[in-house]
Structure 1
Amino acid sequence: MKKTMIFCMILLILVGCGRSKQEDLYTIGVLQFADHPSLDATYEGMKVKLDKLMGSENYRIIYQNAQGENGNNELMARGFVSQNVDLIYAIGTNSAQSAKNATEGTSIPVVFNAVTDPVAAGLVDSMEQPGQFVTGVSDQSPVEKQLALIKALLPEAKRMGIVYNIGEINSVTQVEVITSFEKDLEVVSIGVTSMQELPIAIQQLAEKVDVIFNITDNMVVASTANIVDIASKYKVPVLASEDGQLDEGILATESLSYFDLGESAGDIICKILVDQVDPNNLSILISDKTKLYINKEVAREFGIEIPALLEERNELK
């Protein structure tokens, strides 16, 4: 009888320890809008930084991918709230908006990434004082560097084409910024509302412009291979705003490192969970560090000579 009681006590202690250990873990809900190399990199970078700062044994991740569907975003975000996660890491503007909406009225903080203009997207009050328990990392494009790259590779170009989703506020903002910033190249932009409209829009652009520039627009990025294919038939090269499109045949990009952006998000998450810093007081992070990628094979196909200074910086040797 005594042995039985001792065994039961040990069992209770072990069970109690197991439960306590689980409760001690920080639970992070990750909501990613879609599968894409850049978005994937922000997730991987975040995990690497958390492992360094917190230790992998001290947190757990519940990962959800909306597969590009806003309906999935909303359901998954609400699911995280019902699970009472400690924090939501939202990758992509649509996912961040769903996470913010789902957590309203709760104390669950949201850290976003891969959002170009969080103010215009209604996620934060300002870049300096975000408020609303939402903060994060912006992938605001280094427009000046990207336009300089186009001019260096294509000095004779006169007109640049941009296609974008008119329903994505980040895209509208980018087109406005590029159009107001660029003085030497005439910007020709066409807005679309669906993937089905893209091929016709690209064809219309390719007939008018000397180069096409892909901005960080989810619809555009998902269609890069098709855009490159159509543009190449008109002998129009395609450059992009980020390196996730390199495998799809673009000519070049002056890109932010989305892995580094993910690590920056990891820093923010650690400050909120471990250091108990109020997310309302954590400014939105913006990076100006870029890497240059020029596809030499594509350059040869278009008869483009790569300047020596660019060749020195080219990550694709």
Structure 2
Amino acid sequence: MRRRAFIGLVAGAIGWPLIARAQQSSATPRVVQLGPVEIPAQIAGTKRLLAELGYVEGRIRLEFRHAAGDADALPALAQEIVRDGPVDVIIAISTPAALAAYKATRTIPIVTLAAVDPVASGLADSLARPGRNVTGIAVFSEETTVKRVELMREILPQAVRLGTVTTKVSSGAQSLTPVLEAGRKLGFEVEAINIDDPASIGTILSPDNLARFDGLVFVPDVVLSAHLGEVVRLVNLSKKPAIFASPDWVANGAFMSFGPDFADAGRRLIAQVDRVLRGAKPGDLPFERPTKFDLRINLRIAKALGLDLPATVVARADEVIE
């Protein structure tokens, strides 16, 4: 073989992987967000945060799939996403969505906003080094729900009956045992209020049904968030003080909220999606935990409920609505 031909052959052999990588990197990535329910504000947030990182229309194929509030439909939906063709990243909103996606694929990167411990739920080997194809933000909602129970005791020192409100999405993904135990230690009789079907929200949270409770504690739940307006209306009609997990509830007329700063968690979630799209392996990216927490109080609703809030609680609030 002539020297010039040989050099050309070697150069070509070296160049092919570079060309292949260039073609791969220039291809439009396909990202699918999977969740139990459609929440327009959440979808808009995902689009906005990705756009801020340069993933505008034309530079990304962004799809949204949801199970219309039926958590049991998530596994089939995840399998359908995998069958539909190449996917660069699955964004899984909620632990059930992450578990469904992980069951459907062990190779496609999954970035999740999970309510519970990803190690205990089988999504990761450890928080620091997940070791599988899943990473994301782990909220550990049992801990913050316990804090909401403690707040309820502070503002209702004489209360006895406490209801904790969940749907299949939250109750199926997390244990309420720590919450129930914390409530009982604080002198509450705690009853779980489970909403298996979103269509039954109006019945289960009706004033007649809630009359037996002195207060309500809501766990983080994307299905309930999708019905935020209806839930707030029903709870306020019941005249029962209720604590929710995020400030958007208080902004829409609820009494109180305490929980992680989900806006910050959303930014960090999309930052992890960006790192995966740039070549990082989920198994090498630590699961992150929220570091910012937010307490909001609506004093107008407190007055309507006839509550005289302790000054120590009001002083701790990040925002007070007069």
Task: Please state which band the TM-score falls in when normalised by the shorter chain.
Answer: 0.7 to 0.9
1:260 aligns with 2:261: no
* 1:124-203 correspondence to structure 2 within 5 Å: 124-141=124-141, 142-165=144-167, 167-168=168-169, 170=171, 173-182=174-183, 183-192=185-194, 193-195=196-198, 199-200=203-204
The aligned residue for residue 95 of structure 2 is 93
Could you tell which deviates more after superposition, 174-183 or 199-208? 199-208
Q: Distance in 2 between matches of 1:139 and 1:59?
A: 30
1:151 Cα shift? 3.3
1:144 Cα shift? 5.0
On the 8 A contact 2:28/2:61 being kept in 1, the answer is no
Indicate the SS of the match to 2:295: strand
Which deviations, in whole Å up to 9, do the C-alpha atoms of 1:63-90 show, x marking residues without a partner?
2231324537633653355320211112
CA shift in 2, pair 1:228/1:266, >3 Å: closer
The aligned residue for residue 12 of structure 2 is none
Q: Distance in 1 between matches of 2:225 and 2:170?
A: 15
Q: Distance in 2 between matches of 1:30 and 1:308?
A: 42
Q: Distance in 1 between matches of 2:225 and 2:189?
A: 19
Q: Distance in 1 between matches of 2:248 and 2:92?
A: 18
1:175 Cα shift? 1.8
The aligned residue for residue 274 of structure 2 is 270
Q: Distance in 2 between matches of 1:248 and 1:115?
A: 23
Indicate the SS of the match to 1:286: coil
* 1:42-53 correspondence to structure 2 within 5 Å: 46-53=46-53
Q: Distance in 2 between matches of 1:65 and 1:32?
A: 7
1:253 Cα shift? 0.1
1:243 aligned partner, one-letter code: P
On the 8 A contact 1:121/1:170 being kept in 2, the answer is no
1:227 Cα shift? 4.9
CA shift in 2, pair 1:213/1:53, >3 Å: same
The aligned residue for residue 318 of structure 2 is 313
Q: Distance in 2 between matches of 1:72 and 1:184?
A: 37
Which deviations, in whole Å up to 9, do the C-alpha atoms of 1:110-141 show, x marking residues without a partner?
11114334345443344343333111112333
1:288 aligns with 2:271: no
The aligned residue for residue 109 of structure 1 is 109
Q: Distance in 1 between matches of 2:239 and 2:158?
A: 14
Aligned counterpart for 1:304 among listed residues 290, 296, 307: 307
Taking structure 1 as the reference length, what is the TM-score of the superposition? 0.75
Structure 2 residues not aligned, in runs of 5+: 1-21
Could you tell which deviates more after superposition, 253-262 or 184-193? 184-193
On the 8 A contact 2:87/2:108 being kept in 1, the answer is yes
CA shift in 2, pair 1:144/1:161, >3 Å: closer
Indicate the SS of the match to 2:158: coil
Could you tell which deviates more after superposition, 283-292 or 240-249? 240-249
Indicate the SS of the match to 1:285: coil
Structure 1 residues not aligned, in runs of 5+: 1-18
1:32 aligns with 2:63: no
Aligned length: 292
Indicate the SS of the match to 2:96: helix
Indicate the SS of the match to 1:71: helix
What is the aligned-residue RMSD (CA, Å)?
A: 3.5
Q: Distance in 2 between matches of 1:172 and 1:92?
A: 8
CA shift in 2, pair 1:189/1:122, >3 Å: farther
